[in-house]
């Protein structure tokens, strides 16, 4: 018997940034724990075709899938929480939807009809949602709608959902609405009116929520719950208190206190099952109760924009749990760092990570930070641009290639150790010109990377234009750099290491995109372990030299 797919629509009201993505991912985790196959889609009402060309100030991290699409950072939360790999079918923007419809119109596919938001845009939205359900790979498909109810550009999406629910039947669909219950300190009260209004807005379009997740910073009183239930026409047991938590990984457990998984599955007519959240609980317990502490420096350009490094930050939470450590991240501004002052930034960090990035700004600071890490034997992890800067640093200071650089930063450099591949040189259109998505890599036996992964053949996700220039590889190797991994088909460099160093790795790909709860990326795990080792080595040396372990500054 083919399975009846169930759909859960997640909408938001009152204000943005309430954490709809994490809410969807958390309920998804609970349903997974009940044994259901789950996936989550995100519908973004903005008109950009994808977030690839949007500024990090606008959009935060661009999350890349195996099949090479640049998507919203919420897809990262989905993968980390539900362990389902996302694809191009999991993220759609209004830009893509309009583009498809307009292209069809130009081809004459609409046979002379007037092309309109209803039904043509809404049909295209419904087709994209149905496509995921029709794979029959999932029991439950979540559909998160970006923005808040009432946004003009979100209207076609909500209208499409209204029609979709009619097509599929109320019993196979449900709406979870995330809302804010503000507390007014001057009157000492929680206010339910904004929630009532946002639900009113939903009902105006013909959408009746089945469950309300009420974001609050204090307990929701029963009287408020009953009031919300009454005014919003939702049963009181479906009005869920969604408190702020110190870690996002606590959220599924908090929801579970209200049996959210069971309530959702019952509402969808799915059989009652026993949830198994034991592994997740252990993980969260370790996040809360680490036995040690380690500080890692991250040297990048957007230090004030933590959303740009979302997956890296989360990968360190995962890696901390594996090492029984709390990893604190210290943000180092690459525009402040120089070869002369780098040392002072290293006094209280035990490892350096240089993340991905674009453009020349801050590149010399990153190179300076790497120089210090290399010379002082501080564990170093370079990701994408981080690898490229490590190659530039090594070429300049070890191989003696003065002014070696990436042609991204200086296209007149005498030594373009990082360069465009020939196939890229004449491409000028932004978007779609990068090496994107999963590429194979073959690791060298006995490399640090091989030891971390425990296998030779790996596949990792990419997002970059520039590459290590293979015509310099012999020189780099002669001076002691190890090419620890290459793409077998193209020969492009994927992993570099310095075997004489405690732990020094650069990767051309983005390992952070594949780190998940209870499935930490092995390079992050080993990097944190190396940082702990480095800290212990330093302590041993100081003890040997008679420095008091409890002295200030330790
Ligand atoms: N700007 C570099 C490139 O395009 C690195 C990109 C990145 O770090 N993701 O190759």
Give the domain-ending residue among 230, 257, 282. Answer: 282
Based on the fold, state whether residues 297 and 276 are members of the same structural domain: no
Based on the fold, state whether residues 313 and 446 are members of the same structural domain: yes
**Beta strands, E only, 200-269:** 211-216, 239-243
Q: Report the alpha-carbon angle 84-101-107, nearest 5.
A: 125
Based on the fold, state whether residues 332 and 233 are members of the same structural domain: no
Q: What parts of the chain have a pLDDT lower than 50?
A: 425-431, 552-554
Which ligand 1 atom lies nearest to the CA of residue 418? 10
- For ligand 1, whether the C-beta of 355 sits within 6 Å is no
Give me ligand 1 centre to Cα 161, in Å. 38
Based on the fold, state whether residues 416 and 454 are members of the same structural domain: yes
Tell me, yes or no, whether 550 lies in a domain.
no
Which pTM value belongs to this model? 0.92
Based on the fold, state whether residues 263 and 300 are members of the same structural domain: no
DSSP-derived 3-state class of residue 354: strand
Say if residue 119 is preceded by a cis peptide, omega within 30 of 0.
Answer: yes
Give the per-residue pLDDT at 51. 76
Based on the fold, state whether residues 295 and 266 are members of the same structural domain: no
Give me ligand 1 centre to Cα 453, in Å. 23
End-to-end CA distance of the chain: 64
Helix extents (H) in 327-362: 342-345
Based on the fold, state whether residues 12 and 85 are members of the same structural domain: yes
Strands 183-184 and 63-64: unpaired
Give the per-residue pLDDT at 14. 85
Tell me, yes or no, whether 22 lies in a domain.
yes
Quick check: 270 and 276 in contact, CB under 8 A? no
- For ligand 1, whether the C-beta of 358 sits within 6 Å is yes
Give me ligand 1 centre to Cα 356, in Å. 6
92 is an active site residue = no
Tell me, yes or no, whether 118 lies in a domain.
yes
510 is an active site residue = yes
Tell me, yes or no, whether 517 lies in a domain.
yes
77 is an active site residue = no
Tell me, yes or no, whether 112 lies in a domain.
yes
Tell me, yes or no, whether 549 lies in a domain.
no
Based on the fold, state whether residues 357 and 433 are members of the same structural domain: yes
Give the domain-ending residue among 227, 261, 282. Answer: 282
Mutate to test the pocket of ligand 1, among 353, 408, 421, 435 (most ligand atoms within 8 A of CB): 408
Quick check: 222 and 256 in contact, CB under 8 A? no
Q: What is the CA radius of gyration of the chain?
A: 25
Based on the fold, state whether residues 213 and 317 are members of the same structural domain: no
> What are the Cα distances from residue 106, in Å, to 49, 98, 327, 367, 467?
18, 12, 54, 50, 38
Give the per-residue pLDDT at 553. 42
Residue ID of nearest Cα to ligand 1 atom 3: 464
C-alpha–C-alpha distance, residues 295 and 352, integer Å: 9
Strands 325-333 and 292-300: parallel
C-alpha–C-alpha distance, residues 15 and 179, integer Å: 8
Give me ligand 1 centre to Cα 390, in Å. 13
Q: Which residues contact 246 (CB under 8 A, 6 or more apart)?
A: 288
Tell me, yes or no, whether 59 lies in a domain.
yes
- The CATH code of the domain that includes 320 is 3.40.50.880
Based on the fold, state whether residues 269 and 402 are members of the same structural domain: no
Give the per-residue pLDDT at 272. 84
- For ligand 1, whether the C-beta of 357 sits within 6 Å is yes
Based on the fold, state whether residues 75 and 189 are members of the same structural domain: yes
The sheet that has 466-468: what strands, in order across it? Answer: 405-406, 416-420, 466-468
Q: Which residues contact 452 (CB under 8 A, 6 or more apart)?
A: 522, 523, 525, 526
Q: What does the pLDDT look like over 190-221, one tens digit per residue?
A: 999 999 999 999 999 999 999 999 999 999 99
Which ligand 1 atom lies nearest to the CA of residue 358? 1
Based on the fold, state whether residues 383 and 510 are members of the same structural domain: yes
Q: What does the pLDDT look like over 333-377, one tens digit per residue?
A: 999 999 999 999 999 999 999 999 999 999 999 999 999 999 999
- The CATH code of the domain that includes 78 is 3.40.50.300
Give the domain-ending residue among 252, 282, 312. Answer: 282
Catalytic residue chosen out of the listed positions 397, 510, 521, 534: 510
Catalytic residue chosen out of the listed positions 214, 232, 384, 441: 384
- For ligand 1, whether the C-beta of 421 sits within 6 Å is no
Tell me, yes or no, whether 35 lies in a domain.
yes
Number of domains in the chain: 2
Q: Name the residue range of residue 170's domain.
A: 6-282
Give me ligand 1 centre to Cα 442, in Å. 21
């Amino acid at each position: 018997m083919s399975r009846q797919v169930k759909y859960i629509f997640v909408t938001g009201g009152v204000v943005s940034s309430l954490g709809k993505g994490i809410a969807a991912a958390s309920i998804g985790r609970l349903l997974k724990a009940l044994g259901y196959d789950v996936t989550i889609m995100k519908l973004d009402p903005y008109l950009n075709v994808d977030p690839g060309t949007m500024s990090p100030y606008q959009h935060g991290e661009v999350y890349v899938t195996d099949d090479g699409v640049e998507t919203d950072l919420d897809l990262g939360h989905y993968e980390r929480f539900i362990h389902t790999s996302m694809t191009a079918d999991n993220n759609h923007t209004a830009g893509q939807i309009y583009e498809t419809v307009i292209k069809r119109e130009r081809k004459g596919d609409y046979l002379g009809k007037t092309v309109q938001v209803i039904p043509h845009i809404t049909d295209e939205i419904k087709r994209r949602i149905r496509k995921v359900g029709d794979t029959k790979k999932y029991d439950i498909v979540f559909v998160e709608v970006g923005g808040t109810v009432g946004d003009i550009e979100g209207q076609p999406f909500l209208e499409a959902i209204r029609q979709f629910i009619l097509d599929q039947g109320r019993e196979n669909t449900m709406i979870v609405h995330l809302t804010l219950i503000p507390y007014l300190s001057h009157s000492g009260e929680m206010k339910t009116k904004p929630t009532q209004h946002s639900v009113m807005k939903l009902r105006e379009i013909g959408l009746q929520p089945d469950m309300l997740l009420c974001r609050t910073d204090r307990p929701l009183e029963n009287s408020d719950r009953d009031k919300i239930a009454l005014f919003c026409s939702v049963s009181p047991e479906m009005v869920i208190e969604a408190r702020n938590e110190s870690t996002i990984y606590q959220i599924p457990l908090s929801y579970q206190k209200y049996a959210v998984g069971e309530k959702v599955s019952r509402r969808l007519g799915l059989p009652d099952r026993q949830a198994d959240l034991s592994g997740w609980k252990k993980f969260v317990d370790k996040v809360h109760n680490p036995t040690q502490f380690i500080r890692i420096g991250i040297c990048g350009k957007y230090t004030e924009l933590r959303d740009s490094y979302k997956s890296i930050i989360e990968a360190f939470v995962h890696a901390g749990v594996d090492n029984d450590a709390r990893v604190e991240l210290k943000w180092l501004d690459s525009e402040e760092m120089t070869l002369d002052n780098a040392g002072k930034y290293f006094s209280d960090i035990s490892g350096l990570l240089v993340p991905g990035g674009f453009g020349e700004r801050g590149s010399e600071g990153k190179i300076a930070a790497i120089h210090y890490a290399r010379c002082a034997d501080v564990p170093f992890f370079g990701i994408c641009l981080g690898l490229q800067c490590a190659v530039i640093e090594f070429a300049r200071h070890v191989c003696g290639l003065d002014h070696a650089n990436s042609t991204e930063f200086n296209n007149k450099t005498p030594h373009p150790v990082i360069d465009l591949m020939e196939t890229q040189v004449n491409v000028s259109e932004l978007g779609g010109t990068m090496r994107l998505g999963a590429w194979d890599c073959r690791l060298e036996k006995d490399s640090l990377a091989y030891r971390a992964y425990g296998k030779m053949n790996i596949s990792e996700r990419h997002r970059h234009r520039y590459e290590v220039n293979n015509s310099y590889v012999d020189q780099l190797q002669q001076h002691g750099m190890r090419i620890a991994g290459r793409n077998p088909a193209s020969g492009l460099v994927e992993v570099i290491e310095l075997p004489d160093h405690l732990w020094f790795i650069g990767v051309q790909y983005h390992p952070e995109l594949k780190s998940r709860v209870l499935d930490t990326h092995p390079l992050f795990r080993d990097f944190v372990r190396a940082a702990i080792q480095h800290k212990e080595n330093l302590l041993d040396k100081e003890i040997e030299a008679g420095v008091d372990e409890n002295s200030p500054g330790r």
